Structure 1
Amino acid sequence: MILTSKTCVCPFCYFPVELDRIMFQCEGRQAPGRTPCEPGDDDEQAKQRYEMTGSSEPIMKVFGPDEHHKHFRSGDRMACPSCGGMSGIRVCHNCYTQLPPAFGAGASPMIGMVGAKASGKTVYMSVLVNELQKRIGQRFQASITFFGGMRPGIGFGEKNWLRQYQDSLYNAGVLPPQTQAASGRVQYREPLVVTWQQQGRSVAGRDRVKSITMSLLDSAGEDFNDMERVRSQHYLGSADALIVILDPFQCPAHHDLPGRDSDDPEPPVDVLRRVADMLRERHGISATKKIPVPIAAVFSKMDAFYQVLPDGNPVKDVGRLGSAYDEVDGRNVHDHVEALLEEWGSSDITTYLRLNFKTFRYFGVSALGSEPDYSTEQLSRPPIPHRVEDPLLWILSQQKLIPRVN
């Protein structure tokens, strides 16, 4: 999606937001002597919000900026024309969803997360968020804040869904339920919006806080089982990069191994084909040209193969853990995963990615660190993740949002 410097993509509805049209939302605290606004006062706004997000949750009145507030300035406040109360809450002018405070103040990459049914996307995202909170923020000296599925008041839909998944993994010791497929043409699941803040410098060399707003969406695997469902995922057309979760158990060499979902024998390359076809349609890219959207091809559940991988294999090792993406380590993992795919009878994945995407990289990750009991969905121990952050850090380094070391 081609955007101007005054336009970003809403991290909730995935439609372009013109920064000089960002609206305000009443906080519900009226000026003295005025009648307070109540949630659900405006039927037209509620209707538009439902059409854009599928959310029927009542919202406070939304109003447009005046001439003074048309220039996006974080921290600005404006009086509600109905109740006179001051508000600094900014919302998308398309879906009326409250935007994170740092939105528009820095880079806002849209990162789609896709994959086939039972490929491990929900477990991966749940563990990735935990790692961002507990370890990655400290590693990069960054403040990482989450909105949407973890924080009431910002976002829409089922509140705290990700907390429920994390509670299943870390406290109850069971796998979370599979993500339900979206219905209709609108994506109803709530994305997870991440704000990453860290110390930086301006062009003039002055200290400043650098903000990155990312949007991650865990789509249901069923949404990629046929081309019509893939077309319905309009957020993919707005994605600056994609994390594609692939199940190594679906490679031909592993068809008879425990842990394979026998109800979904679709090879990983078919998911990649459907995503590529959708991106070509969405962006008008001919079949003779490669797709510019970077692809992180992530093979999950790699803990199942650690015993057969030799010592020193970078897929098993831990790379350098500095405050930068390690390009050398990442390339080594890529090369070893590529070799494994050939050994597993899936070299067609590499051929397809090379012919259709300008930039892609392989990753081998384990969200849990050891295999669960797939028959009971029980974990033998709390998650001890391995390399789950690598795909996200690679994407951020590709966009020059974090440093990279060679």
Structure 2
Amino acid sequence: MTSVVCPYCFDRSPAAKLPYRCQMSPTGVRGGKPCTAELDTVWAEFIGPAVPPALKMRGPVFEAARGLGGRIPRQLPLGGGGSRAECPDCGVSTPVRVCRRCHSDFPSDYCDQDTRIIALLGPKGSGKSTYVSVLVNELRGRVGRAYGASLTPMGGETQRRDREMAEDLYDRLRLPEATRPAALGFNDPLLYRLSLPLRRRLRGDGSRHTALVFFDAAGEDLGSAEAMDRYTHYLAAADGIILLVDPLQMRAVRDRLPEDSELPLPVVETPPQQIAGDLAAQLRARGRGSSRGRVTTPVAVAVTKTDSLSALVDPHSPLLRNADHSAGAVDEEDRLAVHEEMRALLDGWDSGALLRQLERDFAQLSLFGLSALGSPPPAHAPADAPKSGPQPLRVEDPLLWLLGLGGLLPQASGAARAGGRGTGGPGAGGRAGVEGEA
């Protein structure tokens, strides 16, 4: 039986058993009355006290009526354009499916496709919101063109936020606001429909659709294992994790910057080693650890703001140019070159302490370096983007690697050779980390 993972609470339920929500539409029958809104206590408790009382009044939730033999009448099969069920009170059919656990409404076609959940973690000030904004823009433009992909926001909330993010960053040149802590309210994930052309071996000229769920945890909520505990059910459901590391919050990097550097330095927040250690502990507690103790969820560790490190890297470093996606495949040799470059830098910054911890804790691990803006914000206006607008470097690399591991993207020739043992350290090549756990 097909199962669906809720993108809000990440509960997994059989698709055929998901309830529906009445849309309170006119019946079209003389004398017929639409349903009236009622208090949805399940949804209200999940969202939290920040929701105004009036918004807690929603269309009734109901189970689809079953006929003889348990058959659900008037319900189209999932995957065939969605399913509908008639409200038992007003008789009007509705396509809105609802999570059994939190009563959140699913976008109309969410249940019709595979889902890839990507968790995004990083300390406060590491640029998570800016990173997502730029990543989405690149997937629609330069990167999407190379892979023949399209990216579409799913659901009204993501459509609204997607539009606001683009207007703020690309039209007004304003950086996104920081993600609010969980104590101030629930943060809706961003839901996108990623459409990719079917590969030749699958036959046909159609498309393959996948729901991408980006969940962003506020940096303040990653300051301790206790605070991170509220996110463990999200993390445990993730197909991949992107862990952002802000090098300008590392004292060793600050000490190596030129004395005349005018880079605006952020406040030093939770050390990346602590976040990585707490993350691994929480995932093990949720059953995502192997027999040898390493977490099996793939983790892409991305050092951000690499534009600020130009004085510390070789002028010919792969970090200073975007990957070539013209082949429409993930280039493993390029990825490994970046991985080794970042390995060398981390080793020089903290004697490799962070990298050693990551390699001991995670079975599938790759290092990345990226810059969402391409240059620092103006010193006199740190909340603004550079006047030239975002000129990103390698923002797509972590996600493409994770999608490649999941079989959604092809790998360039030589990928199998690149993923072998002894190439880039434990877990660096994806398969190497898995083999080491056997």
TM range (shorter): 0.7 to 0.9
Structure with higher Rg: it is 2
Find the counterpart in structure 2 of residue 176 from structure 1.
176
1:395 Cα shift? 0.4
1:42 Cα shift? 2.7
Find the counterpart in structure 1 of residue 62 from structure 2.
63
Unaligned stretches of 5+ residues in structure 2: 66-70, 258-262, 416-438
* Correspondence list, 1:6-405, <5 A: 6-31=2-27, 32-33=29-30, 34-38=32-36, 41-43=37-39, 46-54=40-48, 57=55, 58-66=57-65, 67-68=71-72, 69=75, 72-73=78-79, 74-147=81-154, 151-152=156-157, 160-183=160-183, 188-200=186-198, 205-233=203-231, 234-256=233-255, 258-264=263-269, 266-283=270-287, 285=289, 288-322=292-326, 323-345=328-350, 347-374=352-379, 376-377=381-382, 378-381=384-387, 382-405=389-412
Greater shift, 251-260 or 309-318, is seen at 251-260
Q: TM-score, length-normalised on structure 1? A: 0.87
SS at match of 1:283: coil
Contact 2:116 2:239 in 1 (8 A): yes
| Larger RCO (CA under 8 A, 6+ residues apart) | 1
Q: Which amino acid aligns with 1:6?
A: T
Cα distance in 2, alignment partners of residues 349 and 267 from structure 1: 10
Q: Which amino acid aligns with 1:93?
A: R
1:218 Cα shift? 1.6
1:228 Cα shift? 0.8
Cα distance in 2, alignment partners of residues 71 and 22 from structure 1: 13
Cα gap change, 1:203/1:328 in structure 2, threshold over 3 Å: closer, same or farther? Answer: closer
Q: Which amino acid aligns with 1:296?
A: A
SS at match of 1:50: helix
Unaligned stretches of 5+ residues in structure 1: none
Contact 2:82 2:109 in 1 (8 A): no
Cα distance in 1, alignment partners of residues 26 and 199 from structure 2: 40
Contact 2:290 2:296 in 1 (8 A): no
1:262 Cα shift? 3.1
Q: TM-score, length-normalised on structure 2? A: 0.81
Greater shift, 249-258 or 287-296, is seen at 249-258
Cα distance in 2, alignment partners of residues 217 and 375 from structure 1: 31
Contact 1:102 1:213 in 2 (8 A): no
Q: Percent sequence identity over matched residues?
A: 30
Q: Which amino acid aligns with 1:302?
A: T
Cα gap change, 1:379/1:341 in structure 2, threshold over 3 Å: closer, same or farther? Answer: same
**Cα RMSD over matched residues?**
2.5
